[in-house]
Amino acid sequence: MSAINPASTHDSERQLAFPQAAGDLSLEAQAWIRHLAAQRRVSPLTVEAYTRDLTQFLSFLTEHLGERPGLAAFAELKPADLRAFMAMRRSHNIESRSLMRALAALRSFARHLEREGKGKAAAFVAVRSPKIARSLPKPIPAQAAMDMMDVGTRAGEAREPWILARDAAVIGLLYGAGLRISEALGIARKDAPIGKSDSVTVTGKGNKTRSVPVIRPVREAIEAYLKSCPYTLPPEKPLFVGAKGGPLSPRIIQLAVERMRGALGLPDTATPHALRHSFATHLLNGGGDLRAIQELLGHASLSTTQVYTAVDGTRLMEAWRNAHPRARS
């Protein structure tokens, strides 16, 4: 299913039709999606993922039950029905993390139905979430990360110089400031960290904002991009634009990183998000404070930062002893 723009009208209504369900259930599914997008302010990517998860589940139910499910059939679902869906998804090599997100989406929809007085779907509470193996991220070596920020690394590519400068600036924000790719591409032109501005305010998960320092080499990379960019960038519009002047797609940066990791002999784990891992890991290895790194990354909990930066238990306990008021009692 294509991405959803809650602000659109006719096209949006057609996209949200959920033809896999009977009329009453389809209408409630549409109302739930609109509620997520407009009232709960869930990110567009999450709305799209939840829409896809519910669509897949409704398609499964149509085949599983022999007819399109309505509200009554949905409320009568048993845990075995949900387990059958998850088993089907696993047979398609879907990982536990995606299954967990799908289950979260379905539980959210079930709660919506209950709030609206459309019945209860107890099956979604009874089924356990799949276990996820917590694998540690693999940071990119410091020199390789710096090479990826260097325009010269891609000098042999048949691409316009301003595009190479743009990609280098974005990658600089990922590694030099620890931003998520969505955060870097969400920066407006007026907020560009250039000149005397040595920090940038970004909007992360949950629409939470944070201020992140931007080191001089990254600021200079952004300035080089702005000098060479052939387009006039309005203050309120995105700082980084695509080849035709529209918003820059994250996929373009992913492809740029793929090309560079081939040139630098890096493994497939060297992704744009791995640059954020590397920012945190290299800071920590250099003696950075765990709490400060947590704030820079925009993590809600220290445990998330611990996994993110491959911190061992000894280092975490050291940070706890230094910070917790009862650690010395």
Confidence at residue 41, expressed as pLDDT on a 0 to 100 scale: 65
Put simply, whether the predicted model's pTM sits higher than 0.75 gets the answer no
Give catalytic status of residue 231 as yes or no: no
Confidence at residue 116, expressed as pLDDT on a 0 to 100 scale: 86
Marked catalytic residue, from 89, 180, 219, 277: 180
Give catalytic status of residue 115 as yes or no: no
Structure tokens at 186: 């969400």
Marked catalytic residue, from 118, 261, 276, 282: 276
Give catalytic status of residue 308 as yes or no: yes
Q: How far apart are CA 245 and CA 250, in angstroms?
A: 15
User: For 44-75, what is each residue's pLDDT tens digit?
Assistant: 878 888 888 899 888 898 989 888 888 888 88
Marked catalytic residue, from 166, 219, 277, 299: 299
Marked catalytic residue, from 50, 175, 225, 308: 308
Domain spans in the chain, listed from the N-terminal domain onward: 10-126, 142-273
Q: Residue 257: what residue type?
A: V
Give catalytic status of residue 273 as yes or no: yes
Residue 130 · residue 86 · CB < 8 Å? yes
The whole-number mean pLDDT for each consecutive block of 10 residues of the chain, a chain of 329 residues, reads 38 56 85 80 79 89 88 87 87 80 86 85 75 68 90 84 95 92 93 90 84 91 96 95 93 92 87 88 78 77 63 55 57
Confidence at residue 10, expressed as pLDDT on a 0 to 100 scale: 36
Q: With respect to CATH, is domain 142-273 assigned 1.10.443.10? A: yes
Marked catalytic residue, from 190, 205, 208, 321: 205
Marked catalytic residue, from 101, 237, 273, 315: 273
Confidence at residue 206, expressed as pLDDT on a 0 to 100 scale: 76
Give catalytic status of residue 205 as yes or no: yes
Give catalytic status of residue 276 as yes or no: yes
